[in-house]
Amino acid sequence: MTELYSKAAATNRERIAKLERLTGLPDTLDARQQALHDRIASGPRGRVAGPLALWLHSPELCERAQALGEHLRFNNVLPKALSEMTILLVSAHHRCDYEWHVHAQIAEREGLPADTIAAVKAGRKPDGLPEDADALYDFATGLLRDNAVSDAAYRGVAEHFGTAGVVELAALIGYYQIGAHTLNAVEFRIPGAPSPFGRYDGTG
């Protein structure tokens, strides 16, 4: 294990010297990292990618973050389409390419209308939102833009989703902000695809 850590440290020193940012999984996985990788891959996500791959560089962080994320993504009390709309709101706010690329596809599969997805990407409130989605939108954008939630938005989320919905929605926003910050810090790119937010054209 000491040898593995030494090799990893040497690789990291070389990457830092060349100003190469992290691109995904560590070059080598120790026993703990491999076990965690396999546990995540065999769970509901089905793979280790994006921020989870990056977090494996710190297995302590990855272990705790992936458990929180698994609950918030797959088991929160929100309807799946609205949960994905929330993730897209975070992704658009932070202009996080990978997060948007992945979750726009999931949102579409979960039934979120294409015009709603397009409006969120453009930073506009979608037209004709149902009451529950309208409350969720105002709650999420209030936190993201103003670090505050209006009484009307709070009341709407509580009425539609209960007190569990209030805290899980706030936590869902925070969790995907952690992911977006991690991905943006390393300038994580979508392999072979252009940036949804115009950061790069996908040819480099």
pLDDT at 19: 66
The answer to whether 61 and 55 have CB atoms below 8 angstroms apart is yes
| Type of residue found at 133 | A
Q: What is the pLDDT of residues 99-127, one digit of tens each?
A: 999 999 999 999 999 999 999 999 999 99
pLDDT at 90: 99
Q: What is the pLDDT of residues 6-41, one digit of tens each?
A: 555 555 566 555 568 999 999 999 999 999 999 999
- In this structure, the dihedral spanned by the alpha carbons of residues 146, 122, 48 and 65, taken in order and rounded to 10 degrees, is 10
Mean per-residue pLDDT, 60-86: 98
**Assigned CATH for 78-185:** 1.20.1290.10
Where in the sequence of the chain do the CATH 1.20.1290.10 domains occur? 78-185
Nearest C-alpha neighbor of 175 from the set 70, 43, 26: 70
Q: Range with the lowest mean pLDDT among 42-51, 89-98, 189-198?
A: 189-198
Q: What is the pLDDT of residues 150-204, one digit of tens each?
A: 999 999 999 999 999 999 999 999 999 999 999 999 999 888 888 999 888 876 5
Nearest C-alpha neighbor of 171 from the set 140, 141, 132, 137: 140
pLDDT of residue 1 exceeding 60, the answer is: no
